[in-house]
A and B are shown apart, each in its own frame.
Chain A
Amino acid sequence: MNFAAGIKNRYETFSAMDARDKGRAISELLVNNSLYILILATIIITCVVNPLFLSVGSIVNIFNLSAAKLPIACGIAGAIVLTGTDLSAGRVVGLTACMTAASLQASSYAKRMFGSLPLIPIPVVILIVIIVGAVVGWVNGFWVAKFKLHPFIVTLATQLIVYGALLLFVLINGQNGQPISSLDQSVKDFVTGSFISVPGGARPVPIPNYVWIGFIVVVITWFLWNKTTFGKNMFAVGSNQEAANVSGVNVNRTIILVHTLAGAMYGITGFIEAPRIGSGTSATGFNYECDAIAACVIGGVSFVGGTGKVSGIVVGVFLLNIIFVALNALSVNMNLQYIIKGLIILVACAIDMRKYLVRK
């Protein structure tokens, strides 16, 4: 009802304008929504060229890819709300993915990294990777808050440090850096197994369990952002740090918490990635932060700070993955895909920034 009334109201305002204002209003509308128009066009073209794009299997695939990236996006979004960023995300995913893989290698596998150790229970592994991620996040937050360094610099540095740790990790116990593979069936079942399938096509398409993990992470993030003191403080700090301090918000603690939470989210992503891909290598997680940041910006989590919704993050992640799958369905060259990604980030940021420009 409200939505319909809003549309009616807008239409009436539009009808009342003169011809020149109408033209401007239409072009504004087109520019502000150009990203969505672009995506719609991509989908339509892709469907025409490759009808399989809209098959049940393909749609579920888009869901799966998106769900796997939701935790990292939710984490980075917090840093962006604080007008910051986090470049270390991808490498933290890599490290935690390798740790997951190493601690859950099948006991029958001859070249286990920790051959002498028994299989670690899955909940303990989850806890470990979350803590490892959170510690890196805490370090990020600590340097940002205490030394007033820009998160760009801090996370640029921690990204290198974590990468170094990751490279050392994959050489433990005489390993030569080969992929840490042959994961135990239990963890494969836990992450990539399925208890619900979507009927359609030749046979039902299963929905892997990590989709539900992504869903739970989104719900938790939504709760933290909207229903807790932490969330209100985060938006206040992102909107006006000095006013937040005067109002009694513990600015430093808020910054550290946001980054710590982000790190924990990367840990969860790492836990999903290892069984999803089937192994962990030193290259796992590389450049994940780029996609996550792009998704946040597309979804309206602005670098201006203090704005953004969890629903926006979800929409952003989905839209980005629709484009990736579409580009693959169109058989677009992998190198060209990077160029397209870059352009999407630029356009999305530019459109976003337009909303906050003060017209003089």
Chain B
Amino acid sequence: MGESDVTAAANEDVLLSMIDISKEFPGVKALDNVSLTIRRGAVHALMGENGAGKSTLMKCLFGMYQKDSGRILFEGKETNFKSARDALNNGVAMVHQELNQALKRNVMDNIWLGRYPMIGGVMVNEGKMYNDTKAVFDELGINVDPRRVMSTMPVSERQMVEIAKAVSFNSKIIVFDEPTSSLTEKEVDHLFGIINMLRDRGVGIIYISHKMEEILRISDEVTIMRDGKYIATKPAGELTMDVIIRLMVGRELTSRFPEKTNAPGATALEVENLSGMYNQVRGVSFSARKGEILGLAGLDGSGRTQVLELIFGILTRKSGTITLNGKRIRNRNSRESIRNSFGLLTEERRATGIFSILSVLENTVISSLRKHLLFGFYLSAASMREDTRWSVDSMKIKTPGQSTQLRSLSGGNQQKVILGRWLLNDPEVLLLDEPTRGIDVGAKYEIYQLMIDLARRGKTVLMVSNEMGELLGVCDRIIVMSGGRLAGEVDARDTNQEEIMTLAAKYV
């Protein structure tokens, strides 16, 4: 990208240029020579599918990740921020999607956190804090009492506080990460008013969002990323929604997937009007057949994971009936679901899947201990070892032994251990949430093969994935979630990523 180099030197307007940034994680090239140029007084939208590398790029900018190669020029000088704090002190701020605030404290405490104005070096100058906060708020047209406690405020107002904080640092660049996901239409108008005002003052704005109408409305330029690669930067005026979608998903499927040998049969699982008590899932109905791999597609936060967890009974249902092979079942908690032949591979392997300091054996048998009881109370070591051996062999798990702590295995092998844990229960319905997240390509292929084998043996497999390619490559049918509702259903053989993306944006 020598071109942007030249631009950076020549153009006074350029505030920030990230040039040829690369970042590799074990097994994944997360960023591959990506470049981004932000100009003074312009809104620059950053777009791409989940996992395209947008947030990795931002994390490299803010020093949360160390980039492997490439340069970052801020106001013409080479810069390497050590932390988000360091970036903020230098005038680069980020308004996060997940607000990181001290909820028990009041508004002004949050804004001046870590840089409280002092009296005589000992006492915090509350009066100055109040007046300064008020001044920033008046300037931005925000109507919030600086002394109000954060936890008593709606998310939209808390977000305004976050923006005010960025402004109070006199930031030259402000990154907005999905800022409108929790805002009403009126609040979005207010936010856009603020963004326009910041633009007029010469602030450079990076705007990350999935919502295409918003992007076409607010941004001056759009950069599109895909699979960790830079695809294009275009003036927003030249773009339409169709063009953006094509640029975002325009990849071709290669033979990353095993041959599909399963054949869907009679209906096995029926879910009717499923709603969550404490989440946004509303009225989801679908069915899945024996020997079928059913994909659940959608954007982050569309409720895919919650659907699986509602079925498995670890989230509280508000309504909904579940029928397996014609029989109504209740699945009120995980134990009942397991008795009803369900299994759930959770999304966050490290957080909710593995027992990292326990052994391969203990991780394998934890869901099927009942099978190993002698006289109803004594756990037979021989029987547990036998089952673990079966799991290790049939999953081709690479481990030094059964007593190895699970944390010393690679991600792919950990995932296979958890899959083996469920297969030992011989489940009828397997709920797989991001089964290939964070594991390398070879292990992915093996897991796809396992899924197809299971389906061939008449099991029903539900799979949530962020990777549209793998949904198209492995599933028979795909249902698409959007904003907690079911947006549609497609046949994996004759659909394409554009169709799914359009459905996924239906209720956003």
Contact = CB atoms under 8 A, between A and B. Distances in A.
Contacts of A235: 355, 358, 362
Interface residues on B, range: 20 to 34
A229 B379 contact: yes
Contacts of B346: 243, 246
B373 A239 contact: no
B370 A229 contact: yes
Interface SS of A by simple majority: helix
Contacts of A156: none
Interface in A178-198: none
A149 B42 CA distance: 50
A250 B333 CA distance: 9
Interface in B416-454: 421
B314 interface: yes
Nearest to A243: B352
B353 A243 contact: yes
A240 B354 contact: yes
B502 interface: no
B314 A245 contact: yes
B411 to A, nearest CB: 15
- With a 10 A CB-CB cut-off, give which of B312, B346, B355, B362 has the most chain A CB atoms: B355
Nearest to B370: A229
Contacts of B25: none
B357 A248 contact: no
Contacts, number: 73
B356 interface: yes
Nearest to A237: B355
Interface in A208-257: 226-229, 231-233, 235-236, 239-240, 242-250
Contact of B369 (A226, A232, A245, A307): A232
Nearest to B309: A246
Interface in B364-387: 365-367, 369-370, 373, 377-379
B353 A246 contact: yes
Contacts of A243: 346, 351-355
A232 B378 CA distance: 11
A253 B379 CA distance: 19
Contacts of B33: none
A246 B358 CA distance: 16
Contacts of B367: 247-248
Contact of A232 (B312, B344, B362, B421): B362
A245 B334 contact: yes
Given A226-B379, A233-B369, A245-B314, 14 more contacts: A228-B379, A229-B370, A229-B373, A235-B355, A235-B358, A236-B362, A236-B366, A239-B355, A239-B357, A240-B356, A243-B354, A247-B367, A248-B338, A249-B335
Interface of B: 312, 314, 334-335, 337-338, 344, 346, 351-358, 362, 365-367, 369-370, 373, 377-379, 421
Nearest 8 CB-CB pairings of A with B:
A239-B355, A248-B338, A242-B352, A229-B369, A247-B367, A248-B334, A248-B335, A247-B366
Interface of A: 226-229, 231-233, 235-236, 239-240, 242-250, 304, 306-307
